[in-house]
Chains A and B, each alone.
Chain A
Amino acid sequence: MKVLITGGSGFIGRNLAKYLSERTNYEITSTTFKNDKIKSFNREDIQWSIDLTKEKDIDYIFRGTHYDIVFDLASISGGFRFLEENASKVLKENMFMNLNVLDAAVKYGVKKILFASSACVYPTHKIRKHFTEEDAYPIDPENLYGLQKIYMENVYQAYSKKYPIEVYLPRLQGIFGPLVQYKGIKALGLANLIYKIMLLKDGETLEVFGDGTQMRNYLYIDDCIEAMLKLTNSNFHLPINISYDESQKVSDSIRDICDILGKKIVVKYTGDNSGVSYRSSSNNLAGKEINWKPSINIKDAYKKVIDWIERDMRKV
């Protein structure tokens, strides 16, 4: 089995490559951004450092190898602020990358392809509800990142109608775990929050955007990978939520993290605009269609990430 993972230097891509090389004998090829040097998890894994926005570069990695499955995880991504400030670049380059990868996969006869869509496709600014998959229509995502994702979902569906390729469209959100970015502009909100709390001493103050009532839906990386693998072994080709069924209130997450760390800090909510205020997705469809449910309790997931960040901080 030959697997291509684009976005191989990203958080999900690295974890997927690690998972597959530890538990399968698949031949794994991954692509990374130019200049993004990462350590391979397996000596035999192949890595291409290429620019996926360039058709020629993509041709190069497809030409020699017949992949059985492609995981298109390539995406310029980051926190809410990062996406706002880099919207034009993100929308242009993600579109080019995603289109090129799909088109090349079809051209070179790849059997299966998975595209990492996102819960950003839902009209979270208009309605507060437990979103099920069909709520993405009529199209009205809160931000343009979501518009790009739903655009690609539609391209995938158009391609799968026309060409013999099986497509998989998980809608992911708030994935966290080891290797997650926890500082800098590309940091995931939750990971950054954990990191900040870890740095604080008892009695010190943590400033948090918003008022603490925002709802977030997180998912531990191992559960996410298991869902993606189950999905690609299924016959389900429509968009599908991959998430916990319950969301976390930001103030509750902070309390739980402080409890795990045994910290007594003061939390100050700034009340500022804090990005998407409400995320809640139903995972019923995933239960029904691919027999998947998250297996890791959210507090255990916090604990695992705290342990990993601790180890990572010691390394530096």
Chain B
Amino acid sequence: MKKILITGGGGFLGSNLAKYISESTDHEITSIGKSRELKRELFPRELYFDQDLLNLDTCLFFTKNIDWVFDFAAIAGNYKFLLDNAAEIMYKNVQMNLNILEASRINKVERILFASSSAIYPATDKGVFTEEDDYPLNPENRFYGLEKAYMENLYILYQKKYGIKTYLPRTSVNYGLFIPYIGVKAKSFAEICKRLIEIKNGETLELYGDGNQLRDMIYSEDCAEIFYKLINSDMHDPINVSTGEGITINKLVNIAAKHLNKEIKISYDVKKNMGAKTRISDNTKIKTLLEWKSKTSPEEGVAKMIDWMKSEMKL
């Protein structure tokens, strides 16, 4: 039995991980997160609300006697939010993440996982990105990508210098239970699904772009399972956590509409630039080294997500 700390435990990744670990293992979980976000029903051993991770002493307190840390603490949000708040994000995210890493080292935490992101890959039309495509750094959102890249480097240095075992998943876009669907943190696919849930048959759904952009969308429970496999492995370098396949927004919308039994029209705002045509993360490494196979089909995943959203929306 391990003692596990999850920071950002109320967030999308943190909630899914807490659920996965408490359902499939006997490890003891402590979660730190925002009070309005932390989900009590996930039964972590202990919950702590609104802790100031910008303070090293706080981080030292919470990493004491902990075996494994999952650091998901980050100010996050949609593209516009990230740009508008670049100053805070660059200041606070790196400071929180450094504090957690440093506190973990001081308290001799055995393993630590940091949620990096496929957002560090360049905003080019290369299409499929392997782990070696990180440099030169040219992420679509420079501020966000730079913070992730900087932390990855720090983690690798800590591993070399202090022997703390580090894990650096670069996750592609998640969807699934606990997805944020309103406010600045809302994921764009969740916003589309919310609209789908709300509109009536025959009404029109507006999509940005032509709906044909290919994205690598991983179901959040699968992602949590990979995180857990990863921290049990010897894979200490950055590694893509993804399906390795692209799916179009049109396809996802069709799946969602079908699950909701909705007959809708779609209009496309092609003037809106939706970024690169294709963004897929090569997942050869997790397939070969972690022996992971993509489990949840988009049909199954989207259905579960929509059912969860409906229950949250009290429909």
Contact = CB atoms under 8 A, between A and B. Distances in A.
Contact of A161 (B87, B149, B162): B87
Contact of A154 (B135, B136, B146, B158): B146
B300 to A, nearest CB: 39
Nearest to A89: B161
Interface in B29-67: 54
A99 interface: yes
A139 to B, nearest CB: 4
Nearest to B102: A92
B138 to A, nearest CB: 4
B153 interface: yes
Contact of B138 (A102, A137, A144, A161): A137
A238 interface: no
Given A91-B153, A151-B146, A140 B86 contact: no
Contacts of B161: 87-88
A138 B138 contact: yes
Given A95-B98, A103-B91, A154-B143, A87 B157 contact: yes
Nearest to B124: A138
Contacts of A91: 150, 153-154, 157
Determine the main DSSP class of B at the interface with A. helix
A70 to B, nearest CB: 16
Determine the main DSSP class of A at the interface with B. helix
B205 interface: no
Contact of A88 (B86, B138, B150, B158): B158
B150 A155 contact: no
Interface range for B: 20 to 34
Contacts of A144: 153, 157
Contact of B162 (A88, A137, A139): A88
A86 to B, nearest CB: 9
A162 interface: yes
Interface string B201-225: 0000000000000000000000000
Nearest to A99: B91
A87 B155 CA distance: 11
B90 A139 contact: no
Interface in B171-195: none
B91 A155 contact: yes
B10 interface: no
Interface centre among B91, B122, B146 (most CB of A within 10 A): B91
B91 A140 contact: no
B142 interface: yes
A281 B157 CA distance: 29
A92 B162 CA distance: 14
Nearest to A86: B161
A96 B98 contact: yes
Interface string B96-123: 0010001000000000000000000010
B138 A139 contact: yes
Contacts, number: 72
A55 B157 CA distance: 25
Contacts of A103: 91
B157 A138 contact: no
Nearest to B86: A158
A158 B143 contact: yes
Contacts of A265: none
A147 interface: yes
Nearest to A152: B90
Contacts of A139: 135-138, 146, 149
B94 interface: yes
Interface string A151-172: 1001100110111000000000
Nearest to A126: B136
A161 B86 contact: yes
A145 to B, nearest CB: 11
A140 B137 CA distance: 6
Interface in A131-150: 137-140, 144, 147-148, 150
Contacts of B143: 154, 158
A55 B147 CA distance: 20
A239 interface: no
A137 B123 CA distance: 13
Contacts of B146: 139, 150-151, 154
B181 to A, nearest CB: 28
A123 interface: yes
A55 to B, nearest CB: 8
Given A139-B138, A147-B150, A151-B150, A88 B90 contact: no
B55 to A, nearest CB: 8
Interface string A64-90: 000000000000000000000001100
Contacts of A148: 150
Contacts of A102: 91
A147 B148 CA distance: 12
Contacts of B278: none
A102 B94 CA distance: 14
A161 B149 CA distance: 23
B149 A147 contact: yes
B136 A92 contact: no
Contacts of B254: none
B94 A158 contact: no
29 contacts: A88-B154, A88-B161, A88-B162, A91-B157, A95-B95, A95-B98, A99-B95, A102-B91, A103-B91, A126-B136, A138-B136, A138-B137, A139-B135, A139-B136, A139-B138, A140-B136, A144-B157, A148-B150, A150-B146, A151-B90, A151-B94, A151-B146, A154-B146, A158-B86, A158-B143, A159-B87, A161-B86, A162-B87, A163-B87
Enumerate the 8 nearest inter-chain pairs by beta-carbon distance, A residue then B residue, closest first.
A138-B136, A140-B136, A138-B138, A158-B86, A139-B137, A158-B87, A88-B157, A155-B90
